[in-house]
Each structure stands twice: as structure tokens, then as C-alpha cells.
Amino acid sequence: MTARARLEALLAGADVEVNGARPWDIEVHDERLYPRVIAEGSLGLGEAYMDGWWDCRQLDEFFHKVVRADLGSHFRLTPEALWLAAKSRLQNRQNRRRAFDVAQVHYDLAIDVFEATFDKRMTGSCGYWKDAADLDQAQEAKLDLVCRKVGLERGQSVLDIGCGWGAFMGYAAERYGAACVGVTVSREQADYVRRRYAGLPVEAQLKDYRVFAGEVDHVVSMGMFEHVGAKNYRTYFELARKVLRQGGLFLLHTIFSAERGAAIEPWLNKYIFPNGVLPTVGQIGAAVEGLFVIENVENFGAYYDRTLMAWRANFVTHWAAMAARHGERFCRMWDYYLSSCAGGFRSRRISVGQFVLSPQGVPGGWRLER
């Protein structure tokens, strides 16, 4: 069987056609695509898209169908995937030295890329769309939900592990009168926080979470746990417990997978989130044993599909300017990242949610502050 016939047969199992008429069908521009994907798997598929070898009018729905059909399991393991899996098992890919890798590849990109993609607060995690009409509302609703879930009060202090561009810290300081300190491995993020929130009780520290020293009333972490790695889960929660004052709460906002894996797939690992890995709910539960009581878990994974599509819509409106500054190949990479992740969440193979954790259990039980 030729490489083309093999790939066409695999895609047919996900209801995708080569050069078909439906929005999720792929249009092939270069015949070299077929042997490349058969030989290199998802990495070859993504790099071929960046190179312009194929297109799809509705890339997010293509990935929804591919992930839902679990097509990845039908490809033989490539040397790249095998090496990534071996490194993930044998090494601590998220140790202190490697913790800064993801900043160099992703978070330290030019700020205009994120400004073209995110909401007005530059919130780099899933929005909460329950009563929201647009991205700005969804992100503010999420930030407010976090504040209410930890029962944040004026004058209290909060540590944000992986503070990003400071969206939560700025919101908590402005709306709740909180004093916030965040840690990030991205110099660009730390500098941005210092500029945007100068004059507010907001501090960004450029460091790995493991070396943070201090004591706070509450701890929050949004979209960072995916960079921690299973070998470090216990250390991560021990740090959170150590810095949390009596009576405080820890809110963990993270993506989680339905299946345990040693690493995210090779294309995302190379181009977007090096050393990333998605936890399972079971891994989180095991890692907090003896440290925290799990007070509440909320899964709103479908909201990340909507968030990613809103991010993509924002970016597409700035495509010409982004291509002029960063190149067409970069724009195709960014589109592939946003669309493939949206399809993944739409398939429900991955989810996102929030865990409310207390050191000794909330007397009388935890409840959401209104």
C-alpha cells in the first residue's frame, strides 16, 4: 500500500477526506505530505502544515474528528516519539534547570503575539463562559470565580504560581484590594507585570516556583501545573502547603487528561510547550495526600474549546500584521496550535477545571462565596 493510500485510509476512519469538499477535509498541495506523515506522525503533520504542504478550511474540526477517532494510536511510534517518551521516564524534564525552557520557546515570544491573541487583561488560560458574551467577560468571570472560591478578602495576600502576564494579580488587587506576588520563568512576563501594574500591590518574581520563600493567605495557580511534571507533583504541592497560612485555600486551575501520559505530543512539545505533560485527576489526588483536603472540583473543559476559538479569531484579524513582523510560517504555526488544541478539548479527551484545596478541611465544609 502506498503512503497516500495508507494516510487516506487512516483519515477515512475519522470521516476526513483528502481533497474533499467539506470544511474539515484537507487539501493537499504537496505530494510529499503522505510519506512525511507516515514516517514522522504528528510532528510531520504539523511541520508540513507550517510549510504550506496542506490546508484545511476548518482546522479545529479536523482535529476534533482526528482526536475523537484516536487516529494517533494507529501510527507506528516514530523515533522522535520514542525518544521523547524515554526521556520523560528516565529524566526529570521539568527540573529547575529545564523549567526555563518553555519560556524561551513560548512565553518569551514578542508581546505583540499575545496582545493579538488574548483578552484585554492578557489572560493566558481558559475563560469561564457560563454567563459571558465575549472573551473579555469570560476571562473576568474566571478571575472573579477564583477570588470567590478562595474567599479572598481586602488586605489578604496571594501567591500566584505561574503568574503569566499578571491578569489574576491585577484583578485581585484592583477589585478585591489584595496584595499579590507571582512567580514566572518568563522574563517578558515579569517585565510586563512590572510595567502594567506599577503602583498596585503586585510583584512579579522571575524564578522557579521551588525557590519561592514567604507566607501568604491564599495560593492560586492557573495554567502552570501542565509544566510541573509527575516527578515534581509532590514537591509542587509541598511548596504550596508550606507557604499557605492557617485557614488559607489553594486553587489549582489546570488542564487534565483522561489518560496518563509521559509527555504531550511531539509537535506541541517542540514548538509550543517543551517538557509539558498533562496530569490526570488521579495523579493530582495522589500528590495531595496528607497535604490537602480536596474541597471542590469543577470541570469546564468545553469552555477551553470556546476560549481557544476566540483567541484564534482575535489572531486571524491581526494576521497580516503578524505575518509582516513574524513571517507566514510563524502564523501558520500559531493557527495550528490554537486550532489543534480547540479540537482536542472539543473531543473531550482533555479537560480543564479547578480544584479547591484546604490544608486541614474547612470547618463545616467549603462553600462558594457570592
Whether the pLDDT of residue 241 is over 80: the answer is yes
The 3-state DSSP class for residue 203 equals strand
- Mean pLDDT for the stretch of residues 321-344: 98
Q: Provide the pLDDT for residue 72.
A: 75
Residue 369: the pLDDT is 75
| pLDDT, position 92 | 72
Cβ proximity of 121 and 141 under 8 Å: no
* Of 95-104, 168-177, 248-257, minimum mean pLDDT range: 95-104
In the chain, % of residues over pLDDT 90: 86
Q: How far is CA 129 from the centre of its chain?
A: 17
pLDDT of residue 80: 62
Would you say 180 and 196 are in contact if contact means Cβ atoms under 8 Å apart? no
- Name the least confident of 84-88, 90-94, 156-160, 249-253: 84-88
Model pLDDT for residues 174-193, shown as the tens digit of each residue? 999 999 999 999 999 999 99
Phi, psi angle pair for 289, to nearest 5°: -55, 130
140: helix, coil or strand? Answer: helix
pLDDT for 289-306, tens place per residue? 999 999 999 999 999 999
Instruction: Sort 337 into a burial class: Cβ within 10 Å, 0-12 / 13-18 / 19+.
Output: buried
The reply to whether CATH 3.40.50.150 applies to domain 98-358 is: yes
Angle, CA of 326, 331 and 333, to the nearest 5°? 115
Confidence of residue 307 (pLDDT cuts 50, 70, 90): very high
CA 210 to centroid of chain Cα atoms = 20
Known catalytic residues are 341
pLDDT of residue 113: 98
pLDDT in the model for residue 82: 59
Q: How many Å apart are CA 360 and CA 27, to the nearest integer?
A: 56
Place of cell 457570592: 370
Q: Are 198 and 191 in contact (CB under 8 A)?
A: no
Give pTM, 2 decimals. 0.95
Residue 74 in this model has a pLDDT that exceeds 80: no
Q: Average pLDDT of the chain?
A: 94
Which of 37-51, 82-96, 199-213, 296-310 has the least mean pLDDT? 82-96
Q: Where are the domains of the chain?
A: 3-76, 98-358
